Amino acid sequence: MASRDSGASGASGVEGGANASSHSAHAGPLVPVTARGEATRRRILDAAEDVFGEMGYYEASVSEITRRAGVAQGTFYIYFHSKRETFVELIEDIGARLRAETSAASESAPDRIEAERRGFMAFFRFVYDHRRIYRIVEDAGRVAPEAAREYYRRISVGYEHGLRAAMRAGQIRETNEEAIGYALMGIAHFLALRWIIWPAEGKNGQEQPAQSSNASDAGIPDDIFDAVVAFIARGLAPD
């Protein structure tokens, strides 16, 4: 455009284990040390994405997250200390997955403009598949502003690195890479709002079934996508 397992025994026995002796110690993240533990943590995070995205942070509950994840509440606390910690880690997880997908899509591009095209497409596909992330990140600005800032900062850092490399290679004009990075992030953000998030919410604000038949099923009309890529190409063209 871009961890949890230990023996907590109870009525249900050991669930997979985390490397902290007690969830009440608040000594830091509870990191799984087995594949089973990581799979359980993944289920909890996936359920948390659905619950926080549908209900918002304040209405969401640990009980609803565990119900959807299919785990006991005691199991939840093997992996997370609190609802807020789960929310913050979910923001980090969403950001990491988004950056990985956009990076993988653009890394073999022959030049920076093609990297932008592929990266934008990967971003739109990710948002199309995870439409609730917009509400989650918006809530983060109020609930955990430090996590929201870090979410955007990490995207920007990768962007700046790619833009600097393209400037050195003479592929794009010399300019302030941080400013351009945030400008491009803003373009992607609002295009996704206009053509993916808002239509999915419907006129009454209720979530609608996903519908897409354009821009490689990423939800952005082909003519809109092409116009934006052309606009970026002209704006970044070397002097």
Nearest to 77 by CA among 144, 123, 165, 9: 9
pLDDT of the residue at 218: 77
Decide: helix, strand or coil at residue 18.
strand
As its CATH architecture, domain 86-236 has Orthogonal Bundle (1.10)
Q: What pLDDT does 10 receive? A: 31
For the beta carbon of residue 149, count every other beta carbon within 10 angstroms: 12
Backbone angles phi, psi at 31, to 5 degrees: -100, 125
CB atoms within 10 A of CB 145: 10
User: Which two structure tokens, joined as six digits, stand for 181?
Assistant: 């990075």
What confidence score (pLDDT) does residue 190 get? 97
What residues does each domain of the chain span? 23-81, 86-236
β-strand partners of 17 = 6
Residue 6 is given by DSSP the state: B
Please check whether the domain covering 23-81 is classified as CATH 1.10.10.60.
Answer: yes
Tens digits of per-residue pLDDT, 63-122? Answer: 999 999 999 999 999 999 999 999 999 999 999 999 999 999 999 999 999 999 999 999
Predicted pLDDT at 219: 82
Give the single-character DSSP code of 30.
-
Q: What is the pLDDT of residue 18?
A: 52
What SS3 class is residue 59?
coil
Helix (H) or strand (E) holding 142: helix 133-143
Which residues does the chain have with pLDDT short of 70?
2-29, 31-33, 201-217
In 10 A of CB 5, how many CB atoms?
A: 24
| Cα–Cα distance, 46 to 49 (Å, whole number) | 5
Q: In angstroms, rounded to a whole number, what is the distance separating the alpha carbons of residues 190 and 52?
A: 21
